[in-house]
Structure 1
């Protein structure tokens, strides 16, 4: 399992949000390194595709997970106010072994927290 994972629950239906594109970036002044994944049937990302920097030891710094929510709601024939959700978080000088980013999502609102 990579050191950063995420999970989306659709709070309107009470079900996991499957097949949502997620992008994970390490933010710097000059560039962003990105990996991508689709949430699985349980709404989880447990494996990232692309540059495999995320499977190595984490670097301190600022990261972003972008959840592309527009297509998810469109496939379900539902409108949404948020076409995507960006969650930006900071990893300190002594990184933990694992960071989990849950997203509780509805058409017109969302919340997040640091999971375990």
Structure 2
């Protein structure tokens, strides 16, 4: 089995999946960031396919950036030009070439959390 990466976003303030959040994935090497994928969450707060599927996954360092500002504004949870969590970066390492890495985001207007899921 080849490795792959999935993610999803749950709105913990509203108790539901967060639909419509744009997510960018970067491969990180030192100070270099290379965008390798971009997607949007669906009605279940997930992406329609792995953000990094089998065959494209490599061992290394990655950064997911969740563009949460528009979602928080559209759901009435935040307003204005400057938000506390307008963008949420999560940098992580993937060391097993055959593993499924699942990196979810638990989101509220003033807090966030992540973990390595399954």
The TM-score normalised by the length of structure 2 is: 0.83
After superposition, where does 1:1-116 map in structure 2 within 5 Å? 3-29=4-30, 30-47=32-49, 54-55=52-53, 56-79=55-78, 80-92=83-95, 94-116=96-118
Alignment partners' CA distance in 1, 2:56 and 2:99? 8
Task: Figure out how many residues of one structure are paired with residues of the other and give that number.
Answer: 110
Show structure 1 runs of 4+ deviating over 4 A. none
Contact 2:94 2:101 in 1 (8 A): no
Render the CA deviation track for 1:45-73: whole Å, top value 9, x for unaligned.
24268xxxx33152221001100000001
* Structure 1: segments with no counterpart, 5+ residues: none
Alignment partners' CA distance in 2, 1:41 and 1:68? 16
Render the CA deviation track for 1:23-47: whole Å, top value 9, x for unaligned.
1111124451321110010000242
The TM-score normalised by the length of structure 1 is: 0.85
User: Over the residues paired in the alignment, what is the CA RMSD in angstroms?
Assistant: 1.9
Superposition deviation, residue 91 in structure 1? 1.2
Alignment partners' CA distance in 2, 1:4 and 1:28? 18
- 1:32–1:95 distance in 2 versus 1, CA, 3 Å: same
